[in-house]
Structure 1
Amino acid sequence: MTDLRTPPVNDGDLFSARARQYALEHRGQTIEILEAGCGWGHGLGLTDLDCQVTGVDMDLPALRAHAEARTDLHARHLGDLRTVPMPPRTFDIVHAPYLIERVPHAELVLDRFVAALKPGGLLLVRLRDRSTAYGLVDRLLPARERRARGAGGPPPAVYDEVASRKGMQWYCMMRGLTIAEEHPSAHMLATAGPAVAALCRLVAAAGRDRLPGGHSEVALVIRKPENRFARVI
């Protein structure tokens, strides 16, 4: 089930707004947030609310340095995302921006995120869509990303099968999760430079849009059902 709404100004605004809405609905309690992929980027910007933020990410030097410099994290665990501590039914919100396409065994990692969510909790995911022209070009030119981001950036994308719009739709259907909102966008495509953009248009045209050229990533607001008998992990 998907509720397509007017896209927000940007996905950061979307996720922060949905997190604040959740906090308002649960007024009077501390909101537990899991910041998945805390080694780069920023959080939800909820420092004015009663929140406890735990960060998890892969244990790489650049990611560790960024995570240690963040002031919004109350705790952090770096290592293999298949084994780092994520107690079940602990978190109200799991925020995972640009992470799912970057980790191997992404479906298993997603399962751990969902298991760590409380019933009724939110999984906020933004990922590059492997099933687009941009996703194909990005997989074929990983060195471009490493050069562009330098040694201090996140690791290059892996693009497991679930790291796509359709892959996430399938995953949520199989796990009994509800996609409350789904917003494709072209931010990465717009910032990739004219040569990459032209190559993406060529790939989309050659494949007769089997690999869409209109978006490069997708943001999803996913809800874990309240019903304890629902089919979830």
Structure 2
Amino acid sequence: MSEVRSVALRGDFFGQRVREHCAGQPMRRLDVLVAGCAHDEPLVVEHMETRATGADEDHPAVRRVLEERADLVTWSLGDLRCVPLPPRAFDVIQLSFLLERVRHAELVFDRLLQSLRPGGLVLLRVRDRKSAYGLLDRISPSWLRRLLWRPLVRPGTPGPLPAVYEPLASSDGLHAFCLSRGLMITDDERNTSGPARSGRIGTAAVALMSSLTSGRFPASHDEITMVIRKPQHHFARLI
């Protein structure tokens, strides 16, 4: 149950990291890939031309949103393991609430990384499968998710989208993935933004799930937020 959130609502945290990235090198334009483009608006950096491209799974709810957007130069929908993405074409990837809802998540992430230039940034947001919210989301039957979707989210939010939650959608999974590929995690935070937390019923359900699991799936957060850097050195050619 992912909710639309602009990057700006992260307290400009992502924007700060991108400005620092741009300040260290001469750039005429910032090329951004918005992966999971049904959710985030493209990042905007002051005094920098931004060219944003979208990519997402071909889902009816996602397609409806994209057909109404004008902030993407182009976008592609389909199997993200093979969607056409030019290699080393982007300075930044905004990867927003995508990894928890796709199958073969590691292959998808690898595919996206191939399109990132050496030294580029991944601005990652993902629902944590090891949170009480993530557990509740992935064990809820599809009919219940459809029934509760509209009362729990902002009007116009696309969904409900699939809830797959492979191991990569967790802190341990992401750290292991980055370590095996030579990626540097520069920031790692936990936040709360799931739509089920916006009302009494959702909050109570998340708290109950945490209690039933004796806190192994905590209610303290539902979102993992990371900034990941692709290395500049020769190993970057392998990913």
TM-score range, shorter chain: 0.7 to 0.9
Alignment of 1:15 with 2:20, yes or no, is no
Find the partner of 2:179 among 173, 177, 183: 173
Structure 2 Cα separation of the partners of residues 35 and 224 of structure 1: 17
Q: Distance in 2 between matches of 1:201 and 1:191?
A: 10
| Candidates 145, 157, 165, aligned match of 2:163 | 157
Compared with structure 1, are the counterparts of its residues 14 and 69 closer, same or farther at alpha carbon in structure 2 (3 Å cutoff)?
Answer: same
Report what 2:30 is aligned to. 31
Letter in 2 for 1:136: L
Hey, what does 1:225 align to over in structure 2?
Answer: 231
RMSD of the TM alignment (CA)?
A: 2.5
Cα pair distance change 1:63/1:9, threshold 3 Å: closer
Give every structure 1 segment of 4 or more consecutive aligned residues whose post-TM-superposition deviation is greater than 6 Å.
Answer: none
Contact conserved, 1:54 with 1:73, CA < 8 A, in 2? yes
2:221 is aligned to 215
Moved more, 184-193 or 81-90: 184-193
- One-letter identity of the residue aligned with 1:153: P
- 1:131 deviation in Å? 0.7
2:197 corresponds in structure 1 to: 191
d(CA) in 1 for partners of 2:11 and 2:149? Answer: 20
> Bigger CA drift: 176-185 or 25-34?
25-34
Identity %: 40
Question: Aligned residue pairs: how many?
Answer: 226
Whole-angstrom distance in 1 between the partners of 2:79 and 2:230: 24
Q: Secondary structure, in 3 states, of the residue corresponding to 2:235?
A: coil
Alpha-carbon shift at residue 212 of structure 1 (Å): 1.9
Residues 125-159 of structure 1 deviation map (CA, whole Å, 9 limit, x = unaligned): 10110011111111122444433445961313211
Superposed counterparts of 1:117-136, under 5 Å: 117-136=116-135
Aligned-partner Cα distance in 1 for 2:115–2:236: 16
- Asked if 2 retains the 8 angstrom alpha-carbon contact of 1:12 and 1:44, the reply is no
* Structure 2 counterpart of 1:85: 84
**Farther-moved stretch of structure 1 (91-100 vs 145-154):** 145-154
The CA deviation at 1:43 is 2.1
Q: Counterpart of 2:113?
A: 114
AA in 1 matched with 2:169: A
SS in 1 for 2:67: helix
TM-score (norm 2): 0.84
Q: Is the 8 A contact 1:189 1:215 kept in 2?
A: no
What TM-score do you get using the length of structure 1 for normalisation? Answer: 0.86
In structure 2, do the counterparts of structure 1 residues 46 and 157 end up closer, same or farther at CA, with 3 Å as the change threshold?
Answer: farther
Residues 139-190 of structure 1 deviation map (CA, whole Å, 9 limit, x = unaligned) = 1224444334459613132111111122111111111111100110122177
Name the CA shift for 1:58/1:229 in 2 (closer, same or farther; >3 Å). Answer: closer
Task: Supply the distance in 1 between the matched residues of 2:121 and 2:62 (Cα, whole angstroms).
Answer: 25
Amino acid at match of 1:167: G
Distance 1:9 1:62 in 2: 23
- C-alpha separation in 2, matches of 1:47 and 1:103: 33
- In structure 1, the gaps of 5 or more residues are 1-7
Residues 69-114 of structure 1: CA distance to partner in whole angstroms, max 9, x if unpaired? Answer: 2222111111111111112221110101111111111111001111
> Equivalent residue for 1:60?
59
Where does the alignment leave 5 or more consecutive residues of structure 2 unmatched? Answer: 1-6, 151-155
**3-state SS in 2 of match to 1:19:** helix
Deviates more, 1:72-81 or 1:17-26: 17-26
